[in-house]
Amino acid sequence: MVHLTTSFLLLACLLSGTVSITVPTPNVLSVPIQKKVSGKTRSLKALLARDLGRFNSDAAAAVGEAPATNEDDTYVTATKVGTQTFDLIVDTGSSNTWVGSGTKYKPGSTSTNTGKSFAVTYGSGSVSGTEFTDTVVVGGLTVTKQSIGDGTTSSGFQGVDGIIGFGPLTLTEDTVSGSATVPTVMNNLFSQGTISTQVLGVSFAPETGSDIDDTNGELTLGGTDSTKFTGSISFTPITTVAPYNEFWGITVSSTTYNGVQVGGSSQAIVDTGTTLIFIPTAAYDAFLSASGGTTDASTGFATWTKAPTANFAFKINGVSFALTPSQFTIPAAQLANFGLPTNKIFGWIVDGGSDAGDINFIIGQKFLENFYAVFDTTNGRVGFATR
């Protein structure tokens, strides 16, 4: 989920998932993540509105891995704060960690009330309350004196307990009174010597059949899990173009369908908290024209009467990352979950708008479910590999 900064509003959608604990190599701990439904998104129209609202106004060192639960539109991971365990949205589009939208926070012996207020506005919700510091355990790794927001007031987060933010430090600016920024979980894991590099590996997976809450993802904190991808990881540097450089922003050199370019060079955000794949209007229109699709008037989603037959792809730093038609369209078994008719085919790729200054290109969960993603703070880059 993307946090609204002081310079502009964010428009996007939350995805969550659960990850199971594994030990792929010595000193590597895996965190399962689970995918679940967050908020009121039991229709594609509501899901689209939530996503759009996200960004747009108009061993010395261990590696931790956590399970992520796939809850159909949000990935969550079980995170221990003090003596309590919370299901928190895994979000690379924001950076604060807070609890309380579901299970209420109960300060204990490891918690300290800093006396500061905190508030974060997201395109799809908001939260405010009091800042505490407390001990946090995620993926078997412990962080002491982590900034935690006690969300006494929140909206837009039904079905989850809060957010664990994995975005850049700058996204915490002006969120806590009297503090310019507050260190993220990854910042503190690194500064406290628990991990040797600020690298987050993310493995998501699509739902199968009509399921909506499988534990089919994994987070790796402090490194990558080679059992979750094949081949090598292709990295690209974080863009310097505003406002994309405030997030995990990258340059997509081209967008293609059936090998033919439908979109030119553009800036994009890679966001685990956004469910869908948003591309600029010009690229979206060209994609629909090339694939024989239209925009469904009732939902705003791409739709076809006959299944597309070619791949859709992004070229990033010289490497093409392609989605097959079955990967960029909604599985037939999932249509009933959104109240959709079965006589049409709907897609996960939607119109992000024509104004790049409002962030109109977001690479969300439905892309990430088909690739392994790496968010590398230490080297200022994002990487992808075949899942």
Chain segment 44-80, per-residue pLDDT in tens: 677 777 787 776 544 333 445 545 443 345 789 999 9
Structure tokens, 382:
């994002």
CB count in 10 Å sphere of residue 94: 31
Q: Which helix (H) or strand (E) holds 327?
A: helix 325-328
pLDDT of residue 369: 94
d(CA 22, CA 67): 9
pLDDT of 33 over the 90 cut: no
296: annotated active-site residue: no
What's the pLDDT tens digit per position in 360-380? 999 999 999 999 999 999 999
What's the pLDDT tens digit per position in 150-169? 999 998 888 899 999 999 99
pLDDT of residue 123: 72
The one catalytic residue among 271, 296, 351, 376: 271
Confidence of residue 35 (pLDDT cuts 50, 70, 90): low
271: annotated active-site residue: yes
Reported pTM: 0.88
pLDDT of residue 23: 30
Buried b (16+ CB within 10 A) or exposed e, 19-32: bbbbebeeebbbbb
pLDDT of residue 230: 96
- Considering only 9-13, 112-116, 118-122, 212-216, which range has the smallest mean pLDDT? 9-13
What number is the average pLDDT over the span 206-213? 68
pLDDT of residue 2: 60
pLDDT of 27 over the 70 cut: no
The one catalytic residue among 51, 72, 91, 376: 91
Compute the chain's Rg from CA coordinates. 19
Among 95, 106, 105, CA closest to 151: 105
pLDDT of 236 over the 70 cut: yes
pLDDT of 7 over the 60 cut: no
Number of H helices, E strands in the chain: 5, 27
Among 68, 29, 35, 4, CA closest to 334: 35
Confidence of residue 323 (pLDDT cuts 50, 70, 90): very high
pLDDT of residue 38: 52
Side-chain-facing half-sphere of 143: CA atoms under 13 Å: 29
What number is the average pLDDT over the span 24-46? 58
Confidence of residue 225 (pLDDT cuts 50, 70, 90): very high
Among 308, 314, 359, CA closest to 329: 308
Among 255, 203, 222, 215, CA closest to 371: 203
CB count in 10 Å sphere of residue 312: 27
Domains and CATH numbers, the chain: 33-221 (2.40.70.10), 227-386 (2.40.70.10)
Strand partners, 294: 303
Strand partners, 263: 255
pLDDT > 70 fraction of the chain, expressed in percent and rounded: 83
pLDDT of residue 240: 97
- Considering only 249-263, 301-315, 331-345, which range has the smallest mean pLDDT? 331-345
Confidence of residue 217 (pLDDT cuts 50, 70, 90): confident
Sheet bearing 345-346, strands edge to edge: 294-295, 302-304, 345-346
Among 67, 114, 96, 379, CA closest to 221: 67
Confidence of residue 338 (pLDDT cuts 50, 70, 90): confident
